[in-house]
Amino acid sequence: MPAVQETVDRVRRIDVDQYRYGFETVIESEKAPKGLSEDTVRFISAKKNEPAWMLEWRLEAYRRWLTMTEPTWARVDYPKIDYQDLYYYSAPKPKKQLSSIDEIDPEILKTYEKLGIPLREVAVLEGVVTKPVSDDGEEGAAAPRSKIAVDAVFDSVSVATTFQKELKQAGVIFMPISEAIREHPELVQKYLGSVVPTSDNYFATLNSAVFSDGSFVYVPPGVRCPMELSTYFRINERNTGQFERTLIIADKGSYVSYLEGCTAPQRDENQLHAAVVELVTHDDAEIKYSTVQNWYPGNSEGVGGIYNFVTKRGDCRGKNSKISWTQVETGSAITWKYPSCILRGDNSRGEFYSIAISNGFQQVDSGTKMIHLGKNTTSRIISKGIAAGKSQNTYRGLVTAHRKATGARNYTACDSLLIGDKCGAHTVPYVEAKNSSATFEHEATTSKISEDVLFYCIQRGLSQEEAVGLVVNGFVKDVLQQLPMEFAVEAQKLISISLEGSVG
Amino acid sequence: MTALLEVKNLQVRVEDREILHGLSLTVNPGEVHAIMGPNGSGKSTLSHVIAGKPGYEVTGGEILFKGEDLLEMSPDERAAKGVFLAFQYPVEIPGVATMNFLRSALNAQRKARGESEFSTPDFLKKVREVAKSLSIPQDMLKRGVNVGFSGGEKKRNEILQMALFEPSLCILDEMDSGLDIDALRIAADGVNALRSPDRAMVVITHYQRLLNYIVPDFVHVMSRGKVVKSGGKELALELEESGYAQFEDAA
């Protein structure tokens, strides 16, 4: 049908024009010499004034990494990465020692301003009412912005963390992990690598050797974190890998909600991002981790874009604990990412809600692992994949119940939506139950965005793009509802932009 | 007076097959036209081409709407100009609340016409009023568009939109298909309430039955891609008795 063709053509034109965060910040930076060796690892560790145990930990990981090979099982295809042709550390050159946020390089402040990330606490003080203005001029309800503490990571280092004082009063530790290594070594030593061991996989091991910064969160027993915590990652420097490390610990009976956002400039070469995120929940604790990933996806010819090879795992260590992953993935040239839950504590619960949109030449291989070890553990997986252009979108999931995990339950629903006929959606679920009392349910659907549905909407006055946006937003509604309110609005817009044919 | 809709010698192909071979039809404001004919005579094709559904190739003739070339306009422009098609099989749109859909569509049309968008309270008030007159319960408006709606509910939802968008041309494609007699009466009452001197309707149907409820001013018989006979409402009754066969031969 011609209309299918038209939709396909329009969507195919997705291109650098739509990526609104592609600007570059011109700033002097300090880098480690190109390439990876023990010296690089030592350089990074020395830059961070790390204690000896940390350097040892890194070197062990590095030596391990040398013996490993890059995994090839994912349904993604990319030229071989030359790990010696990358910079492993890049930091904006400080003009002088900083004592307050006002002394941050104005160029960096401007960068985050452009990205809509408030680094000045005054901007988000409670009760400040902002009126969201949407592109189509539709009035948004005026809502008081809730407070969000932000840790901003620029290339390899954290440049600012807001609301530290207030969080400290509540007993919550929220700081760059490089600082935590120095200030809270006992916590870091106890938990770092306890969920994702240094030997876990090629990219996680690489990260363990060269990670430069990231966020550290510790919520003490019984504390409900008084605000949302958020980290905003920005890769700016050319040929630089970003290897951040995030560690979040929710002690007994505590709760924290954490948001993560990411963008990068448009560049013709690919950039590597290999992060590790570790979550630990003790008895009755809960972590809600939300990601809106909008790394540069490459241009309409498939040139450039971020390689996003990320290991995210949560360990429900205590009984009745809960970890919930929500992700909206619209960016990156290649995504290789499986946020997982180890359900160790009895009655613990893992959740994974995902929207993965691929367009142009993007390749997504993403999903989750739910490892049921404790008794009466439950998990829920809702995955919505949307493929357009010439992209490939794969859901890969693993659900297992250990021999002793009696009464384990999982519900999985994987839905894929195809726009056009040059893209692909794939579902690869692995299910393993080693005891007979486990109940696993799996549902999967693949559908094409129907021409009849689009025409119906357009006959009612919506433009082609509005119609696609509406249908897709309906398709992902179950997952959007899981996002914190402010993120949900942002994500909804992002979804429309990602699939837009004309300039947004 | 300019006609509201003027179809002149329209020729339409789908893939390599010609479906309409020179069809002409003039509709003035305030009039209700019924188009009858057997399956495959091109009735639905006509409605689709007027609304701008992709997949049809117009190889000859023209369609003027309020004196403007309709075929030059995109389907959403046509909607904003006042062309409304009530679908024979309204689609389901999961996850999109009916209320949200109505609002997006209405505001898109108003925006295209350079009018201000409805405020939320005004919009809600208007929808509730219209919904009530069509016996559409509030909870139906919260559900996904047409998801899990019965045949009657789907058709009422079409009429709800017609009432809300206030188009100047309503094309009703086989509105009676799949409706029992009670549902048909409710739907027809809804349509009749929208009859006005500024608005025209083109009612496409197989059966005379619908025309007992929506009484047309003119009846056209289509066969093999052409209008073969036109007349007043009595023509429908005549057809009911004698069938379409006589026209099949004539065409």
**Any idea which of A25-34, A372-381, A454-463 has the lowest mean pLDDT?**
A25-34
The pLDDT of residue B22: 93
Q: Read off the pLDDT band of B134 (50, 70, 90).
A: confident
The pLDDT of residue A15: 40
Sign of CA dihedral A178, A181, A183, A188: positive
C-beta separation of B205 from B36 below 8 A:
yes
C-beta separation of A247 from A207 below 8 A:
no
Q: Nearest 5°: CA angle at A493, between B51 and B99?
A: 50
> What residues of B are in the A interface, CB distance below 8 Å?
51-55, 74-76, 78-80, 84-85, 87, 90-96, 101, 104-109, 111-112, 117, 144, 161, 165
Q: Read off the pLDDT band of A142 (50, 70, 90).
A: very low
Closest by Cα among A173, A197, A198 to A186: A173
C-beta separation of A117 from A261 below 8 A:
yes
- Using a CB-CB cut-off of 8 Å, the residues of chain A touching B94 are 474-475
Domain boundaries, chain B: 5-250
Please check the confidence at residue A443 and state whether its pLDDT lies above 50: yes
Half-sphere exposure at residue B167, Cβ-oriented, CA atoms within 13 angstroms = 34
For residue B171, give the 3-state DSSP assignment: strand
C-beta separation of B87 from B175 below 8 A:
no
Strand A173-176 with A215-219, pairing: antiparallel
- Using a CB-CB cut-off of 8 Å, the residues of chain B touching A134 are none
The pLDDT of residue B251: 46
Please check the confidence at residue B17 and state whether its pLDDT lies above 60: yes
Please check the confidence at residue A140 and state whether its pLDDT lies above 50: no
Sign of CA dihedral A464, A467, A469, A475: negative
Minimum Cα–Cα distance from A474: chain B residue? B95
Rounded Cα gap, residues B102 and B108, in angstroms: 10
Q: Nearest 5°: CA angle at A420, between A414 and A425?
A: 30
Please check the confidence at residue A139 and state whether its pLDDT lies above 50: no
What would the pLDDT profile of A143-184 be if each residue is shown by its tens digit? 334 566 777 766 656 666 667 778 888 899 988 898 899 999
DSSP B70: G
- Using a CB-CB cut-off of 8 Å, the residues of chain B touching A136 are 111
The pLDDT of residue A60: 94
Option in B55, B90, B112 nearest A456 (CB)? B90
Q: Read off the pLDDT band of A362 (50, 70, 90).
A: confident
Q: Read off the pLDDT band of A502 (50, 70, 90).
A: very low
Option in A456, A462, A478 nearest B91 (CB)? A456
**pLDDT, mean of residues A217-224:** 96
Biggest alpha carbon–alpha carbon distance for chain B: 57
What would the pLDDT profile of A327-339 be if each residue is shown by its tens digit? 888 887 889 899 9
User: How many Cβ atoms from other residues are within 10 Å of residue B199's Cβ?
Assistant: 20
**Any idea which of A119-128, A257-266, A369-378 has the lowest mean pLDDT?**
A119-128
The pLDDT of residue A36: 87
CB within 8 Å: A474 and B95? yes
Option in B76, B87, B161 nearest A462 (CB)? B76
- Using a CB-CB cut-off of 8 Å, the residues of chain A touching B87 are 456, 459
Please check the confidence at residue A4 and state whether its pLDDT lies above 50: no
CB of A468 within 8 Å of a chain B CB? The answer is no
CB within 8 Å: A461 and B80? yes
User: How many Cβ atoms from other residues are within 10 Å of residue B19's Cβ?
Assistant: 22
Closest by Cα among A474, A377, A464, A462 to A420: A464
Q: Which of B76, B118, B158, B172 to mutate to test the interface with A (most CBs of A within 10 A)?
A: B76
Rounded Cα gap, residues A318 and A85, in angstroms: 43
Rounded Cα gap, residues B30 and B97, in angstroms: 33
- Give the DSSP per-residue string, A330-365: ---SEEEE--EEEE-STT-EEEEEEEEEE-TT-EEE
Rounded Cα gap, residues B157 and A48, in angstroms: 64
Rounded Cα gap, residues A166 and A418, in angstroms: 46
Rounded Cα gap, residues A310 and A337, in angstroms: 5
**Any idea which of A101-115, A345-359, B56-70 has the lowest mean pLDDT?**
A101-115
CB within 8 Å: A474 and B96? yes
Structure tokens at B94: 């999961």
Question: Which of residues 291 through 320 in chain A touch B, CB cutoff 8 A?
Answer: none
**Dihedral (C-alpha) A487, A492, A498, A504: value to the nearest 10 degrees?**
-100
Q: How far apart are the first and last CA of chain A?
A: 26
**pLDDT, mean of residues B98-105:** 93
Fold of B5-250: Rossmann fold (3.40.50)
Please check the confidence at residue A189 and state whether its pLDDT lies above 50: yes
User: How many Cβ atoms from other residues are within 10 Å of residue A236's Cβ?
Assistant: 22
For residue A70, give the 3-state DSSP assignment: coil
**Any idea which of A214-218, A414-418, A477-481, B122-126 has the lowest mean pLDDT?**
A477-481
CB of A142 within 8 Å of a chain B CB? The answer is no
- Using a CB-CB cut-off of 8 Å, the residues of chain B touching A462 are 76, 104-105, 108
* CA distance to partner chain B, nearest, from residue A9 (Å): 15
- Using a CB-CB cut-off of 8 Å, the residues of chain A touching B161 are 460
Please check the confidence at residue A379 and state whether its pLDDT lies above 90: yes
**Any idea which of A137-141, A205-209, A383-387, B159-163 has the lowest mean pLDDT?**
A137-141
What would the pLDDT profile of A31-89 be if each residue is shown by its tens digit? 777 888 888 899 889 888 899 999 999 999 999 999 999 888 888 888 888 888 888 87
CB within 8 Å: B108 and A459? no
More confident of the two residues A426 and A212: A426
* CA distance to partner chain B, nearest, from residue A114 (Å): 29
What would the pLDDT profile of B147-200 be if each residue is shown by its tens digit? 988 888 899 999 999 999 999 999 999 988 878 888 888 889 989 999 999 999
SS3 per residue for A406-474: CCCEEEEEEEEEECCCCCEEEEEEEEEECCCCCEEEEEEEEEECCHHHHHHHHHCCCCHHHHHHHHHHH
**Alpha helix locations (H) across chain B?**
43-51, 75-81, 98-112, 120-133, 138-142, 151-165, 181-193, 210-213, 234-242, 245-250
Option in A2, A456, A477 nearest B87 (CB)? A456
C-beta separation of A417 from A447 below 8 A:
yes
User: Complex ipTM, two decimals?
Assistant: 0.95
